[in-house]
Amino acid sequence: MKRIFFLVVFANAAWFGLSASRAEEITARAKTAAYALDNPSILRGYFPAGAQLTVLDNYNDAMAKVRFRSPSGKVVEALCRKSDLGIASGDGPPATSSAGDPTGINKAFGIDLWQDGNLWDDVDADVGRRLGWPEESRTKTLSSYRRYTGPDVKVLGVRPYSLTFLAEDGKPTEFSMVFANKGDYQGFAGEDLENRKGVKRALKEFEAVLNEDAAALEKALTPILGEPERIRYGQGKNVRDTVLRWDWGDHAILLATPEGEFVGLRIVPGALADSGGKVERVRDIELRTMLAGRVEKRPKGDVVVGEIPMVDQGPKGFCVPATWSRYLRYMGVPSDMYGLAMAGQTGIGGGTYLHAMSDSVEDLLRKYGKKLQKINNSLKIQNINKYIDKGLPIMWTMFVNRDLDKDILERTADRKKCADWDAWKARLEEPRRKAEKEGISEGGAHICMIIGYNENTEELAISDSWGPLFAERWLTVEEAEAITQGDLMVIRW
């Protein structure tokens, strides 16, 4: 979600209440974090690269008060880190905000992560190509890249399972490297997890691997970056955790090792680490307008919610944390699939307690002025359209039937090429009749999102956390009713 100019919406002289005691003009060389004047721990947004900023005064040794005038003439004043502005502590000349030559740190990581001293001004597609991480998702403002690795890949000498970075407006905002974890860990694959002894043996080995990975990463980072500090990072119950923090320029490198869950390394801007991972809440009136603008009304009656980020759960049963992560990012709430899996008490290889996830996410949503709402479980279009028309996808618990899943995938491909919608409605009569009369055998429990409807053809559009091919597929209302578990939920203001 775009936040670069949102500060302008709130700006007026009385609100900020400052006047300049001295002034220096500076051009922002990269996207620059802006903090609240009354609380420098609250991140309110970002000034864009190239913005003309007037430095008004010192706030403290590390931060300065700045003013930005938008092209429309509105004025914003905020606090910025002097290192981000290229200003030395005190009154000295401008200092470089670059971390310097990345050769040494790239060598330690074992990948060409940095091309210079600043990741945050790189182009996301260039970074993806440089690292060989495929694009996972792209909307108008958000993108993500993810690679699930094999045993031959090493980062800091340790095997990662998932390598990801997020971007906003074409610029990276966060990198995540997940090592041993309950979902991807291959040591569980050969065990009979219905057998108590097998589970006990697998968990003991897994705990040892977690400890080994965490120790190896800390050992690799400390010689080049110094001793880490301990900070609290993350928002919401069962998501916030104590992590180790190293800094390299404006890159905070955070090592998380929640007990019995996963080992993860996150790289974020220093300002985001300072705020504990909290970003500014989008006001309700803006959110409603923004979500309504994401509803796409197509010819022939398709109504679909667009701009939903994809999170690919990979070869594990992480449909619940992946789907919730997609929805949270869609609503402007920071989220991480592996952190949510921990909050939802996801088991070995997958399987999440929905009530635990709901409890944890509700606490996170409250911090951003949003709430989880369970809605009428009817899959009739007259119920579904009330939410889709407002830009609210619906999380839906259902069962996966492999034969039906294959049918709707093939049918959706044909649907895209359809020119005769009367013929299309006739084609749907048989699957509709089969679902009503014969029923559909239940398969594995699953959760996905309902993202659209067509009142003329009586179809629903669904989106699964299985990658871009499954971002939008269509099935009849009758088929949906045959496989539903009955839970429908939305996140709203």
pLDDT digits (tens, 9 = 90+) for 407-440: 999 999 999 999 999 999 999 999 999 998 878 8
Virtual torsion, Cα 70, 76, 79, 85, nearest 10 deg: 20
**Backbone region of residue 165 per phi and psi (left: phi > 0; alpha: psi in -120 to 50; beta: other values):** beta
* Number of other residues whose CB lies within 10 A of the CB of residue 312: 22
Domains of the chain: residue spans and CATH: 7-85 (2.30.30), 103-274 (no CATH), 286-313+361-492 (3.90.70)
What gap in Å lies between CA 8 and CA 48, rounded to an integer? 12
Composition of the chain by helix, strand, coil, percent to 5: 35, 30, 35
| pLDDT (0 to 100) of residue 393 | 98
What gap in Å lies between CA 213 and CA 55, rounded to an integer? 44
Give the helix ranges, DSSP H, for 160-308.
Answer: 196-225, 270-274, 284-292
Question: pLDDT per position in the chain (493 positions), as tens?
Answer: 333 333 333 233 222 233 333 468 889 888 888 888 877 767 788 888 889 999 988 887 778 899 998 887 788 999 988 878 888 755 433 333 346 789 999 999 999 999 999 999 999 999 999 999 999 999 999 999 999 999 999 999 999 999 999 999 999 999 999 999 988 887 666 545 566 677 778 888 999 999 999 999 999 999 999 999 999 998 877 778 899 999 999 999 999 999 889 999 999 999 999 999 988 888 889 999 999 999 999 999 999 999 999 999 998 889 999 999 999 999 999 999 998 988 888 877 677 778 888 888 888 898 899 999 999 999 999 999 999 999 999 999 999 999 999 999 999 999 999 999 999 999 999 999 999 887 888 788 999 999 999 999 999 999 999 999 999 999 999 999 999 999 999 999 8
| pLDDT (0 to 100) of residue 6 | 30
Give the helix ranges, DSSP H, for 158-283.
Answer: 196-225, 270-274
| Among 157, 178, 246, 257, residue whose Cα is nearest residue 214 | 257
| pLDDT (0 to 100) of residue 440 | 83
SS3 226: coil
Sheet with 24-27, edge to edge strand ranges: 24-27, 52-58, 63-69, 75-81, 32-36, 39-47
| pLDDT (0 to 100) of residue 408 | 95
Torsion over CA: 193, 321, 491, 475 (sign)? negative
CA distances from 401 to 116, 161, 280, 404 (A): 49, 28, 41, 5
| pLDDT (0 to 100) of residue 33 | 84
Angle between helices 319-330 and 354-367 (to 10 degrees): 20
What gap in Å lies between CA 86 and CA 388, rounded to an integer? 46
pLDDT in tens, 286-316: 999 999 999 999 999 999 999 999 999 998 8
SS3 372: strand
SS3 408: helix
What gap in Å lies between CA 144 and CA 166, rounded to an integer? 4
| pLDDT (0 to 100) of residue 46 | 84
Q: Are 220 and 177 in contact (CB under 8 A)?
A: no
| pLDDT (0 to 100) of residue 376 | 94
| pLDDT (0 to 100) of residue 31 | 82
Tokens 């649907």 correspond to 415
* Number of other residues whose CB lies within 10 A of the CB of residue 409: 13
What gap in Å lies between CA 192 and CA 347, rounded to an integer? 14
Cα atoms in the 13 Å half-sphere on the side-chain side of 490: 20
| pLDDT (0 to 100) of residue 387 | 98
Could you give the angle at the alpha carbon of 285 between the alpha carbons of 281 and 289, nearest 5°?
105
Radius of gyration of the chain from its Cα atoms, rounded to whole angstroms: 24
Tell me how far apart the terminal alpha carbons of the chain are, to the nearest angstrom: 16
> In this structure, which long-range contacts are made by residues 60-67, counting pairs with CB atoms below 8 Å and at least 24 apart in sequence?
61/89, 61/90, 62/89, 63/35, 65/18, 65/37, 66/26, 66/34, 67/20
* Number of other residues whose CB lies within 10 A of the CB of residue 37: 17
Q: Are 404 and 450 in contact (CB under 8 A)?
A: no
